[in-house]
A and B are shown apart, each in its own frame.
Chain A
């Protein structure tokens, strides 16, 4: 079974803090993704990575950055957290070309910025 883990289930931070969200997958997947999920807006792609040290902006990259130094780990960084970044953050991984070519999601991190 694919396993995607995220470092925290719940996180509370203050405005202006630097926030690190970590994601690790154990299936040697090439692609990794960061989404945020908000009521009524669904999943919105922040950044994705096709492979180690590669990154691409998604639909809403502003205020975020990412790091992928190792294949299994994809980090999302909020340089200066703001209240409008309060959300559920979901990490996903994918191995293109598999018979079931899909994304596998982690459990999510619910971030509250005060």
Chain B
């Protein structure tokens, strides 16, 4: 079993939709949770960072962590065509990073 599992998609939604992106992880000791956004042919950029269960909001983006279920989510409200990208979840424990394979999202105008 991989340490982090992420549905690769692709996911295609109309502009204005609410998007839900998800990852599951295997180790309850995992501590820090991140979401990266990667535009085509670019490097990943950090979007959200959290270390506790619950929700963290930043504009249209909400990161949610459920440690009891070992489940992390990224919600995008009022999605825009500029949100079209690949989204990677990542987890840090100690000095070890684990990355999901990424979910490709397309927001259709």
Contact = CB atoms under 8 A, between A and B. Distances in A.
Interface of A: 4, 31, 40-43, 90, 96, 100-108, 110
B49 A90 contact: no
Mostly, the A contact residues are loop
B8 A40 contact: yes
A29 to B, nearest CB: 13
B41 A110 contact: yes
Contacts, number: 39
Given A43-B88, A100-B49, A105 B43 contact: yes
A98 B100 CA distance: 23
Contact of B44 (A101, A105, A110): A105
Interface string B39-69: 0011111100100000000000000000000
